[in-house]
Chain A
Amino acid sequence: MGTSTKKNMSSGSGSSSYFLPIPEGHWLRRYSPPAPDPGAETPLEKTLADLRFRARKVLERGLPSVRSEAFRYTNLQFLLSEEFTPDRRQVTREEIEEELFRDLPVKEGEHRLVFVNGRFLSELSTGFVSESGLEILRIGGGHGTEARREEEGSKIAEYIGRTTLADFSSIAAWNTAHLHDGVAVFVQRGKKISEPIRIRHFIRGEGNRKIVSFPRLLVVAEEGAEVFVAETYAGDSGRTLTIPMTELIVGRAARVEYCRVVREGGEGVHLSAQEALLEEDAVLRSHAFHFGGALARNDVRAVLNGENVEVTLNGLSLLSGTEHLDNHTVLEHRRPHGRSREIFKSVLADHARNVFRGLIHVWKEAQKTDAVQSNRNILLSPTARVESRPQLEIYADDVKCTHGATVGRLEEEALFYCRSRGIPLESARVLLTQAFAADLVEEVAVKEYREALAEAVRARLERMLGREEPR
């Protein structure tokens, strides 16, 4: 009894400083549909209504302040004073076509779904798919007959929100509170899908209006299934806010490769949640490339929920100007014989700032866990900053967990070596930073994407380094 009173008191008094209240009527709490749907009838409607209800409860708690440990380095207070609204316009193909395929080219045979400010653009998409083996469905209402829609809805209802388990992270809650549209990918038992599935988001402001969107992606690979999914976010001009959530559900002995490329506009804010849940013998390979945006925060979690699971969690970020990126990663080893490899690298120019927190949480049952974490950073300017916070929480006694973090400049000796072979200083710096990034690009399985990413890395590094004062 005494304990519970104490607990209530501490959480009660603490909440006021760790969270900033979000007033009722604030855009973050202006919901559509406004209230838990009393008219929800289908299983999907019921599930979504329930999820939204729970998520909205989290928002009532408020916005995490910099006093909360998780947001210590990333101040989100501007969300309270700035007004963001969803885009209601219908964008046409002509407006965006040129920009659309800049980061990743079109690959023959790929499945492609294009969204503009969170709104589906069918003209540039290859369309939703409803075949045996592979289904690519729209969360916010499908197509075909009513019976078919209801069947698809039930399937989505079965899985959506599953990765959040008992708790919502703040960002997951914000996305879920506004959840009404998105993409769901289902790969049937034993099916190996060779064509990549590509979800392409295009984000841009609309004059003085600040635009917010809440994209959602659900990927379900059933037992023994294999699939490659790429999600790209390309920003343009104007103040924008993107709050996406991606759920990856990897069944027994299934294999999912997920590649995400974020290049927000100069005023773009990106707050994402990526949650993965893996069953026995499953494999997840996740690659995150961050090529810009005013402020970004990624909450990434993988739960190794079965024995003998293998997770690769890679991240590469190239930051310049006053860009700020905060990667918050959690690897939750719950069962024995799990292997995780986490490599996050960043290259920072100017006044850029990179925050990395990597928690490896090994449950008591998760014996023989083998976890390796590495965070490496290269500073191209004395005013760039890095915060690196590896965290191990280990409750099993027979595990192998290593972590390492480095922050440094380009090696003078390597630069001199390049220059002595005739490579000019600026090119030598691009070459060496490119080399630093190369292994993470190399790990992407699709050749066309890998080549495009290598080129995107090179181009961005050239811009970042070209601006610098020669020494």
Chain B
Amino acid sequence: MILEIRNLHAGIEGTEILKGIDLTVKAGEVHAIMGPNGSGKSTLAGVLAGREEYEVTEGEVLFRGENLLEMSPEERAAAGVFLAFQYPVEIPGVNSAYFLRTGLNSIRKSRGEEELDALDFLKLAREKLKLVQMDEAFLKRSVNEGFSGGEKKRHEIFQMAVLDPVLGILDETDSGLDIDALRIVAAGVNSLRRADNAFLVVTHYQRLLNHIIPDVVHVLLDGRIVQSGGKELALQLEAEGYDRIKQAATV
């Protein structure tokens, strides 16, 4: 079992956003979390990655049997959780290679593994850059600075490939992508799918799920999962919109 969320309640500054989430993700699975704006999708992603502005008021989250909520964001990363940001942060003055190598080596160090030197890291990075069709020149550029929307998202997937997480969380990775970039991003994610890891794909629209085929689709509405099903559920949502489910949920 990779992730078990039980009756998770969380909010920000006294306002409850997640109102009792139950979700179980097994190894080898891809789960999609769909929902309209304001349903709590990004909050869920943020709580799992350890965003400190959210307060968990009830429930528990187990990551491979360990209490995830007790861990700091860096401990979660070391344990194998990765969040691909909806809005990747620009860090002028730190180049991408240095940034990611520092992260990777911090993680390796905490696991008692040997750190990679600049040369070994470069080898690894080159290989992973190919997955998202990015040029090596990006390694020398400041993190996300001056990147286009598509480049930022590909850069997120590249980082995920290098850190090789057990659970990859994609927060609205499809937002702002044209169809070509979307395909590249999806292909990158697909190439990382294995029997021993899992992905949580948070998205408003179904189109990303044409390329990353989920095993389970959950519909999040007002902080609760109101419906779960197979990949066809995403298509149904695309055709009918969220309104019908909203009506069904309130009846």
Selected contact of B52 from candidates A416, A418, A432, CB within 8 Å = A416
The CA-CA distance from A421 to B91 in the complex, in Å, is: 13
A432 x B91 contact (CB < 8 A): yes
Q: Which of B25-33, B77-85, B234-242 is the interface stretch?
A: B77-85
Chain B residues near A428 (CB, 8 Å)? Answer: 74
Give the complex CA separation of A413 and B92 in angstroms: 14
B51 neighbours in A (Cβ, 8 Å):
416
Known pairs A413-B89, A425-B74, A439-B93; A420 contacts B49 (CB<8 A): yes
B57 within 8 A of A: no
Q: Is B102 an interface residue (CB 8 A)?
A: yes
Chain B neighbourhood of A411, CB < 8 A:
89
Given A424-B74, A425-B72, A427-B102, CB of A419 within 8 Å of CB of B50 = yes
* Inter-chain contact B78/A422, CB cutoff 8 Å: yes
B50–A420 contact, CB under 8 A? yes
Q: Which of A434-452 contact B (CB under 8 A)?
A: 434-439
Q: Contact partner of B72 among A413, A419, A421, CB < 8 A?
A: A419
Which residues B99-134 have CB closer than 8 A to chain A? 99-100, 102-104, 106-107, 110
CA distance A432 to B50 in the complex (A): 19
Which residue of chain A has the shortest Cβ distance to B51 in the bound complex? A416
Q: How many of chain A's residues touch chain B, expressed as a range?
A: 20 to 34
- Which B residues, 62 to 84, have Cβ-Cβ distances below 8 Å to chain A? 72-74, 76-78, 82-83
Interface residue? A431 (CB, 8 A): yes
Contact of B88 with A by CB under 8 A: yes
A202 to B242, CA, bound (A): 72
Nearest chain A CB to B92's CB is how many angstroms away? 6
Verify if A414 is at the interface (C-beta below 8 Å from B).
Answer: yes
Tell me which residues from 131 to 149 in chain B have a Cβ below 8 Å from any Cβ of chain A: 142
How long is the Cα–Cα vector from A117 to B20 in the complex, in angstroms? 70
Given contacts A427-B102, A431-B102, contact A420 B91 (CB under 8 A): no
Contact A435 B94 (CB under 8 A): yes
B91 adjacent to A414 (CB under 8 Å): yes
A459 proximal to B (CB < 8 A): no
Q: Are A434 and B93 closer than 8 Å at their CB atoms?
A: yes
A421 touches B93 (CB 8 A): no
Provide the bound-state CA to CA distance between A439 and B95, in Å. Answer: 12
| Cβ contacts under 8 Å, A425 to chain B | 72, 74
Distance between A454 CB and nearest chain B CB, rounded to angstroms: 11
Considering only CB atoms, which chain B residue lies closest to A421 in the complex? B103
Q: Is B77 a contact of A421 with CB atoms below 8 Å?
A: yes
Q: When A416-B52, A427-B106 are in contact, do A422 and B74 touch as well, CB less than 8 Å?
A: yes
Q: Is B61 an interface residue (CB 8 A)?
A: no
Q: Which residues of B contact A418 (CB under 8 A)?
A: 91, 99, 103
- Closest residue of chain B to A419, judged by CB? B73
* Set B73, B85, B91, B107: member contacting A435, Cβ < 8 A: B91
Query: CA of A411 to CA of B91 in the docked complex: distance in angstroms?
Result: 10
Could you tell me the distance in whole angstroms from the C-beta of A408 to the nearest C-beta in chain B?
14
Identity of the chain B residue whose Cβ is nearest the Cβ of A436 in the assembled complex: B93
Contacts of B202 in A (CB 8 A): none
Q: How far is the CA of A318 from the CA of B142 in the complex (A)?
A: 22
Contacting residues, chain A, for B76 (C-beta < 8 A): 420
Q: Does B163 contact A (CB under 8 A)?
A: yes
Chain A residue nearest to B102 (CB atoms) is A423
B173 within 8 Å of A by Cβ? no
B143: nearest chain-A partner, CB-CB: A417
Q: Are A435 and B74 in contact (CB under 8 A)?
A: no
Contact partners of A435 in chain B: CB under 8 A: 91-94, 142
- Distance in angstroms from A249 CB to nearest chain B CB is 34
Give CA–CA (A21, B91) in the complex, Å: 51
Partner of A419, one of B74, B82, B104, B110: B74
Distance between Cα atoms of A71 and B40 in the complex (Å): 55
What residues of A have a CB within 8 angstroms of the CB of B159 in the complex? 421
Asked if residues B77 and A420 are in contact (CB atoms below 8 Å), the reply is yes
Complex Cα gap A421–B98 (Å): 12
Interface string of B191-207 (1 = CB under 8 A from A): 00000000000000000
CA of A412 to CA of B142, assembled, Å:
18
In the complex the two chains form, is B77's CB within 8 Å of A422's CB? Answer: yes
Residues from chain A with a CB closer than 8 A to the CB of B72 are: 419, 425
Bound together, the chains give a CA A424 to CA B75 distance in angstroms of 8
User: Would B94 and A423 count as touching, CB distance under 8 A?
Assistant: no
The 8 Å CB contact of A414, one of B74, B77, B89, B104, is B89
Q: For the complex, what is the distance from the CA of A420 to the CA of B92, rounded to whole Å?
A: 18
Report the separation of the CA atoms of residues A413 and B86 in the bound assembly, to the nearest whole angstrom. Answer: 12
Residues in A whose Cβ lies below 8 Å from that of B53: 412
Interface residues of A (CB under 8 A from B): 411-414, 416-425, 427-428, 431-432, 434-439
A423-B102, A427-B106 are known; give 17 further A-B pairs, CB within 8 A. Answer: A414-B89, A414-B91, A417-B91, A420-B73, A420-B74, A420-B83, A421-B99, A421-B102, A421-B159, A421-B163, A422-B110, A424-B106, A425-B72, A427-B102, A435-B91, A439-B92, A439-B93
Q: Which 4 A-B pairs have the closest CB atoms?
A: A435-B93, A421-B103, A438-B93, A422-B77
30 contacts between A and B (CB under 8 A): A411-B89, A412-B53, A414-B89, A414-B91, A416-B50, A416-B51, A416-B73, A417-B85, A417-B89, A418-B91, A419-B50, A419-B72, A419-B73, A419-B74, A419-B77, A420-B73, A420-B74, A420-B83, A420-B85, A421-B99, A421-B159, A422-B103, A422-B163, A423-B102, A423-B106, A424-B106, A428-B74, A432-B94, A434-B94, A435-B93
